[in-house]
Structure 1
Amino acid sequence: MRPLSVLVAATLTAASLAACGGGDDSKSATPQADPSTPFTPSASDEEVAEPDTWPLTGLPVADGDSSVEKHPILVTKIDNTTSSAPQVGLSKADLVVEELVEGGLTRLAVFFYSQVPDNAGPVRSMRASDIGIVPHDDATVITSGAARVTINRIQGAKIPFIQEGGAGTYRDTSRSAPYNLFAHLTATAKSIKQPEVRPADYLPWGDGSDLPQGKKASSFAVQFSGGHTTEWSYDGDGYKNTNSNAGADDQFPADTVLTLQVKVGDAGYLDPAGNHVPETQFVGDGQAWLFHGGRVVRATWHKDALSSILELEFKGKRLTVPAGHVWMELVPAGPGNVTWQK
């Protein structure tokens, strides 16, 4: 296996402009960024050497599997409240990032690449925090839309996106709005031009052989606010989100849960419901907890600037993430917001 690269992460600033209850899904009054040039294979495309690992999991590509996908990474913004139940498509995701939004609730940025489900959702709006979550050169965001100021920031970061009305999006009439927007991601993927090169590795992948032993942790909880805590348990094979909004047969298969404690400030404006909009400050230093194999390794993360590479460190040495499916928690810093039991 060749050496693995690390994705250069950009800014992570959570600037949400709309109430999670539904006012945040209005489409921009101006046209969206258009990433959807139809893909047409060429001789040079067919000659691209196939990578040996998947960029979002670090796992080896099976013989005969096509690792040069005909689409970029698809980052789908999915609601994470009880109103979204059942969420659709998480079992096919490579990686998930959970982020804070208004009202102390959370939203998911769900990454699809090695597998693309026919259906995913409910699709909700983008946040400026996605600028630091989405790999700019390798991904397209599927979203219901966003407020104008968020659109401006996403376009300024040159992140392409497809919003309601774009390829593959549809409303499920059996559900209530705004929790009824979904995407046929197979159709969406076919509409987007293939990246020229393999996407960079999203995390500093390792094989787990150098992972510190850590402490036993059979269950743990990540508290985002007084109104939302994400709960996990280890079943001997991987981690189950015990208060997930996904269907029982559509759960994300988490091998690792990487929790990063981040500072959250005020974005300086109000959402349509009059709530202050939080802004995640993903720069500097913070505590990190890597849950893997029923144990937890307490470490630190560091970024020199918003656009710097995310680094993990344990006792002065670089820490890698065991290859597999990872759920990342970007939790506000605070005492006692990450707890576990043996």
Structure 2
Amino acid sequence: MLKRISFFSAFLLVTLACGAGTTQPTDLLTPEPTPTDVIFPTPTPEPTVPPTATEIPPTVEVSAPIPQEGYGPDNFPANVNPLTGLVVDDATILDRRPVSVKVNNYPRSNRPQWGLSLADIVYEYYHNNEIPRFHAIFYGQNASQVGPIRSARLFDDYLVDAYDSILNYGSADFRIRDRLAASGYGNRLVVLLEGSCPPTPVCRYEPAVLNYLVSDTAELTKWVTNLGVENGRQNLDGMAFQDQVPAASQGQVDRVYIRYSYAAYSFWEYDPGLRIYYRHQDTREDIGGAGEGYALLTDRLTGYHIAADNVVVLIIPHFYNHYQPPSNGTPAVEVVDMNFVGTGKAYAFRDGQSYELEWVRPTDGSTIYLQYPDGTRWPFKPGTTWFQVMSDLTLLEKVETVWRFQFAIR
């Protein structure tokens, strides 16, 4: 049951940045044991039941036919979402900024999360101490409940800049707060930990038991607008969409593994009947010979399995803004930054095919797009996209129709 309790009204990140202290990033796991020589342990996926019709994500059915030439990268019709290439039922929903929410995935007891199946775009990227987290972007539709909400990281600065979005998160390391506070968009950062809801858009789910922070994306939009923040339609040009399967594929790939650490790993499996990828998430830590274990990731709000029309692996240089090694049983302090401007390597998966491409973000204010090595724009399949952010030290193993990405930062 959703219980609405009191919040302290810390809306502007600048306010939070004034707080003293030298807190370290949260959600630290036990340090990883000494690695073995095996880079990609043999997975042991657990049997899963194929999704039923009621579990198919809503983006599988397109509300209007897609023209053969597709949409984008610019001059989108007023009723076409530039982040999905899909026609929306009510074009006025696009007359606002996208809403981004930081969603937790660890500890595993936080699953299933709320609202992920309704996001247009989700970025998963490494946070610290062996774990990643989700940055979910909502634009073409709202979610009445999103969460559990957790803290921000430096990479969120690039994403807010890229999508001109509102960002809802729960606290951050002081170094991260300082960076976001100096960004120029502090009035679009919603950091609400206490107060009453409504009128605030963030609530506590079962505060006496689970005590998870959750939010409502429509209410976040209203909240920021009522504060006098400019919240009209933004220029989100950049992505191109086409339903026809693109040429120049590197071949069929049915399964894409993403491994951030012994504790955090997943894979995407292609369903040729529905032309989507289903997300399978870790169920245990792969230590002591346990091997990998998986289960389908679901959405507690909608009941849908988490799925994507496009899965894109972005190779982006990672480096430490701050690193303090573990000492006397205290985990390492990792504040990770990246360089997400310019170009870099990308691997895209759609319609069961693989593509080796380049990601492009020309300036700080640009959205991302993908291109072939010759500079030709690569078209996304209309629908949702999950970006898997990996480092330039990431290892890739290809075995027939299975690709495995192993993250590394040091």
Partner of 1:222: 258
Whichever residue aligns with residue 105 of structure 2, its letter is: N
**Aligned CA distance change for structure 1 residues 339 and 126 (closer, same or farther; 3 Å):** farther
Partners in 2 of 1:245 and 1:129 — Cα distance?
A: 24
**Aligned CA distance change for structure 1 residues 300 and 206 (closer, same or farther; 3 Å):** same
* Kept in 1: contact 2:224–2:231 (CA 8 A): no
Task: Work out whether 1:52 is the aligned partner of 2:56.
Answer: no
Identity of matched residues, %: 20
Q: TM-score, normalised by structure 1?
A: 0.76
1:122-159 deviations in whole A, cap 9, x for unaligned? 00011111011124673111111223321221122223
* Kept in 2: contact 1:93–1:110 (CA 8 A): yes
Question: Does the residue aligned with 2:313 lie in a helix, a strand or coil?
Answer: strand
Whichever residue aligns with residue 345 of structure 2, its letter is: Q
Partner of 2:380: 321
* Kept in 2: contact 1:90–1:110 (CA 8 A): yes
Task: Work out whether 1:110 is the aligned partner of 2:136.
Answer: yes
**Aligned CA distance change for structure 1 residues 311 and 113 (closer, same or farther; 3 Å):** closer
Partners in 2 of 1:340 and 1:257 — Cα distance?
A: 18
**Aligned CA distance change for structure 1 residues 294 and 111 (closer, same or farther; 3 Å):** same
1:19-77 deviations in whole A, cap 9, x for unaligned? 3249xxxxxxxxxxxxxxxxxxxxxxxxxx98131132121234xx2334464211000
Task: Work out whether 1:331 is the aligned partner of 2:390.
Answer: yes
* CA drift at 1:324: 1.5
Partner of 2:304: 250
Task: Work out whether 1:88 is the aligned partner of 2:123.
Answer: no
Deviates more, 1:289-298 or 1:180-189: 180-189
Partners in 2 of 1:281 and 1:338 — Cα distance?
A: 24
Give the 5 Å matches for 1:1-342. 17-21=24-28, 51-62=78-89, 65-69=90-94, 71-81=96-106, 82-135=108-161, 138-159=164-185, 160-163=188-191, 164-165=193-194, 167-173=200-206, 180-193=212-225, 195=230, 197-201=232-236, 203-209=238-244, 211-214=246-249, 215-236=251-272, 237=274, 238-243=276-281, 245-247=297-299, 249-270=303-324, 273-303=331-361, 310-318=368-376, 319-337=378-396, 339=398, 341-342=400-401
1:86-125 deviations in whole A, cap 9, x for unaligned? 1001121111111111112111011112211111100001
Q: RMSD in angstroms over aligned alpha carbons?
A: 3.0
Greater relative CO (CA pairs within 8 A, separation 6+)? 1
**Aligned CA distance change for structure 1 residues 306 and 227 (closer, same or farther; 3 Å):** farther
Partner of 1:32: none
Partners in 2 of 1:145 and 1:90 — Cα distance?
A: 21
1:220-254 deviations in whole A, cap 9, x for unaligned? 11222343222100112201001154347233441
Partners in 2 of 1:137 and 1:296 — Cα distance?
A: 26
Deviates more, 1:194-203 or 1:113-122: 194-203
Partners in 1 of 2:396 and 2:233 — Cα distance?
A: 37
**Aligned CA distance change for structure 1 residues 58 and 311 (closer, same or farther; 3 Å):** closer
Partners in 1 of 2:78 and 2:358 — Cα distance?
A: 30
* Kept in 1: contact 2:100–2:135 (CA 8 A): yes
Partners in 2 of 1:290 and 1:314 — Cα distance?
A: 11
Unaligned 5+ residue runs, structure 1?
1-15, 23-48
Whichever residue aligns with residue 181 of structure 1, its letter is: L
Structure number with greater Rg is 2
Partners in 1 of 2:252 and 2:208 — Cα distance?
A: 41
**Aligned CA distance change for structure 1 residues 89 and 162 (closer, same or farther; 3 Å):** same
* Kept in 2: contact 1:257–1:328 (CA 8 A): yes
Partners in 1 of 2:240 and 2:317 — Cα distance?
A: 25
Unaligned 5+ residue runs, structure 2?
1-22, 30-75, 282-295, 402-410
1:238-281 deviations in whole A, cap 9, x for unaligned? 01001154347233441001111111111124499542322222
* Kept in 2: contact 1:290–1:296 (CA 8 A): yes
* Kept in 1: contact 2:258–2:267 (CA 8 A): yes
**Aligned CA distance change for structure 1 residues 267 and 112 (closer, same or farther; 3 Å):** same
**Aligned CA distance change for structure 1 residues 176 and 245 (closer, same or farther; 3 Å):** farther
**Aligned CA distance change for structure 1 residues 73 and 309 (closer, same or farther; 3 Å):** closer
* Kept in 1: contact 2:93–2:141 (CA 8 A): no
**Aligned CA distance change for structure 1 residues 89 and 204 (closer, same or farther; 3 Å):** same
* Kept in 2: contact 1:126–1:150 (CA 8 A): yes
Partners in 2 of 1:157 and 1:148 — Cα distance?
A: 14
Question: Does the residue aligned with 1:80 lie in a helix, a strand or coil?
Answer: coil
Question: Does the residue aligned with 2:358 lie in a helix, a strand or coil?
Answer: strand
